[in-house]
Amino acid sequence: MKKIRDTAFKAAEEAGKILLKYYRKGIDINYKGTGNPVTTADKESEQLVINLIRKNFPTHGIISEETNYANQNIKSLAKNYTWIIDPLDGTVNYIHGLNIFAVSIGVVDSKGESLLGIIYNPVTKEMYYGEKGRGSYLNGKKLSVSKLTALNESLFVTGLPYYVRKDPERLLRNLVNFVVKTEGIRRLGSAALDMAYTAKGSFEGFWEEGLHSWDVAAGIVIVNEAGGKVTDYEGGSDYLFGRKIVVTNSKIHNQVLKVLKKGNRPSK
């Protein structure tokens, strides 16, 4: 895995330089759908990462947000390794000059198990890294999830999917349920960093739906290796491609699933 690891670090750092080149300097913006922008920085950053992967690992698969949008399911994974990349997670923040965004690079095996993940914020120079069996780190310092066990003392982070306008009642019901049962809720606008911050203990948990594999692939292994737990909304393992994910410090996980179950019941 050393060559994969070295390439992933280089790709994240070089992609981060591209993001900084355009940051707060005016940039062309297009929209893939309502509330779903894409910029020149996304595309240029992604192409650099893809070129590095193809140069070093021509037989590896690649799933990426801007060029492989539809090709994301378990059947699309390569027989050896597949790189799942988001060249700019937190595009809306980036456009508005908020420094909460990151390059996200994950590597999974043919069964979809997350083996390596890097989440890099080029503004703050925070490099989150996790590798199966080797731990998780922030700039070389080992990460560990929060040890809190009480839901009412826990701080959570979440996001709202692009289709919130089509189903606001149910989505906001979940939000309200967590507001009344926890110490507080934050919304940062970058699922990758939400997971990284949970891995380092800043949040006790994170839940969100409507996400894609490139939003979560890197964070999964980082959280797991920091001692956290990752499931889908039902407590199962369909979270890489299943579009719904729950991430916690593991100690409050069952409590979180109960809140989500209540919030996702059909309205009377």
Q: Is the pLDDT of residue 167 over 90?
A: no
SS3 label, residue 218 = helix
pTM of the shown model: 0.93
Report residue 59 CA to chain centroid gap. 25
Position 87 scores a pLDDT of 96
Average confidence score pLDDT of the chain? 93
β-bridge pairing 205-209 and 244-248: antiparallel
pLDDT for 266 beyond 70 = no
Architecture of domain 151-263 in CATH?
3-Layer(aba) Sandwich (3.40)
- For 2-142, the fitting CATH number among 2.40.100.20, 3.30.540.10, 3.90.1640.10, 3.40.640.10 is 3.30.540.10
Domain ranges of the chain: 2-142, 151-263
The mean per-residue pLDDT over the stretch 101-120 comes to 98
- 8-58 pLDDT, tens digit per residue, is 999 999 999 999 999 988 777 777 666 567 789 999 999 999 999 999 999
d(CA 86, CA 45): 9
The string over 202-234, giving b where at least 16 C-beta atoms fall within 10 Å of a residue's C-beta and e elsewhere, is: ebbbbbbbbbbbbbbbbbbbbbbbbbbbbbbbe
Average pLDDT over residues 114-131: 99
Residue range 132-151, pLDDT digits in tens: 999 999 999 999 999 999 99
Higher pLDDT, 267 or 67: 67
Whole-angstrom Cα distance, residue 133 to residue 182?
32
- The whole-angstrom separation of Cα 175 and Cα 40 is 33
Same CATH fold, 151-263 and 2-142?
A: no
